[in-house]
Amino acid sequence: MLFFTSLSDIPADFGPSAVTIGKFDGLHTGHRSVLRAVHDAAQKAGLTSTVLTFDRNPLSLLAPERCPDPLVSNGQKRELLADAGIDATVMLPFDRAFSRQSAQQFVQNILVDTLHARIVFVGADFRFGARGAGNVDVLQELGSALGFRVNVVEAMTLDGTHRVSATRIRQLLDSGDVAAAARLLGRPHAVRGTVVRGEQRGRALGFPTANLSPKLEGFIPADGVYAGLLRVDGQSLPAAISVGNNPTFDGVPERQVEAHVLDRDLDLYGKTVEVSFISRIRGMEKFTGIDSLVAQIGRDVSQVRAILHDDAQ
């Protein structure tokens, strides 16, 4: 997949293209449906399938108090788009200068002069240009004048009821319902980070864990214990995952993500790992003593083993 972070890097002979525009946070099943339509239209017409997206949620600049945490990092989004079979992604910085473009400038400078768009796919609620002045009607009028057609994509629903959206997925993750979130995403939700040295408490208890750096990529789900997978060096390993501040012990930093790989004792320090969440077992609890904590961890591991075994069937 071609990848550009500046319009000036895009070659003059790029395209012509079939383009879709959006944040694509999480790259959920609704997004993937749009990408399939873009891909198929591009294949049929001999165009370059292209995603135009941004390096941040525009709300982070325009209304930071209303801006949600992203489901995935830019790096994760880039990889997911490549896996979806898109020919090219343009991830532009959303800064003050960009936000001040008129709707006409956005279309002329980016869609027409740079991407040479022939087909543009957008949602029914698509807005663009300074102060959101442009909408689908404006885009269609400009397209008629400038040589591209607009395909309006209807929002996808799950089972004909709930709309598939990043907002809904965040709500599910915030409640710990990672299984429902996975159905909307089309895959288990995952975070990624570097394994750092912790307090070694898990090892002392007989359950060594890989502690992810607080500077990790991806949206952290609700505190609790989960069945999931740890991916490292091309391997996906079954793991019991803890999210939270481990209230049984004093002085533990908040919102740690740590994973105990089942039946393996690995040296993962300094490695970048991906932790994916399959099912939530329980919330975070404070135990009265070490013995009760160890006994519960043992039960957790047994439950994780059973869940992952059933999931693999």
Q: CATH no. for residue 95? A: 3.40.50.620
Q: How far apart are CA 15 and CA 52, in angstroms?
A: 13
Tokens 């240009």 locate to 129
What's the sign of the alpha-carbon dihedral 27, 33, 36, 38? negative
Residue 168 domain-assigned (yes or no): no
11 with 153, same domain?
yes
Q: Choose among 110, 130, 149, 131: nearest CA to 139.
A: 149
pLDDT score at 71: 97
In a 3-state reduction of DSSP, which class is residue 51?
strand
- The residue out of 158, 175, 210 marking a domain boundary is 158
Distance of alpha carbon 261 from alpha carbon 178, whole angstroms: 19
Indicate which CATH number applies to the domain containing 283: 2.40.30.30
Query: Which residue matches tokens 């429902």?
Result: 180
For residues 130 and 228, state if they share a domain.
Answer: no
182 assigned to some structural domain: no
Q: Which of 120, 143, 158 is the last residue of a domain?
A: 158
Shared domain for 114 and 208, answered yes or no, is no
167 inside domain:
no
- pLDDT tens, the chain, 313 aa long: 999 999 999 999 999 999 999 999 999 999 999 999 999 999 999 999 999 999 999 999 999 999 999 999 999 999 999 999 999 999 999 999 999 999 999 999 999 999 999 999 999 899 999 988 999 999 999 999 999 999 999 888 876 667 899 999 999 999 999 999 999 999 999 999 999 987 656 565 667 889 999 889 999 999 999 999 999 999 999 999 999 876 555 555 567 899 999 988 888 999 999 999 999 999 888 777 787 788 888 899 999 999 998 676 5
Residue 158 is predicted with a pLDDT of: 73
User: Does 183 reside within a domain?
Assistant: no
Question: Do both 139 and 271 map to the same domain?
Answer: no
Q: Is residue 177 part of a domain?
A: no
Domain annotation covers residue 114:
yes
Count structural domains, the chain: 2
Query: Which pLDDT score is estimated for 250?
Result: 54
The pLDDT assigned to 247 comes to 55
pLDDT at residue number 202: 58
Q: Is residue 116 part of a domain?
A: yes
The whole-number pLDDT of residue 267 equals 87
Model-wide pTM > 0.75 = yes
Q: Are residues 23 and 153 in the same domain?
A: yes
Pair 202, 102 in one domain: no
121 and 194 assigned to the same domain: no
Residues 19 and 113 in one domain: yes
Residue range of the domain that includes 274: 188-312
Q: In 3-state terms, what secondary structure has residue 36?
A: helix
Pair (48, 140) in one structural domain: yes
Domain boundary among 107, 136, 158: 158
Calpha distance 201→254 (Å, rounded):
16
Are 78 and 139 members of one domain?
Answer: yes
Has residue 29 been placed in a domain? yes
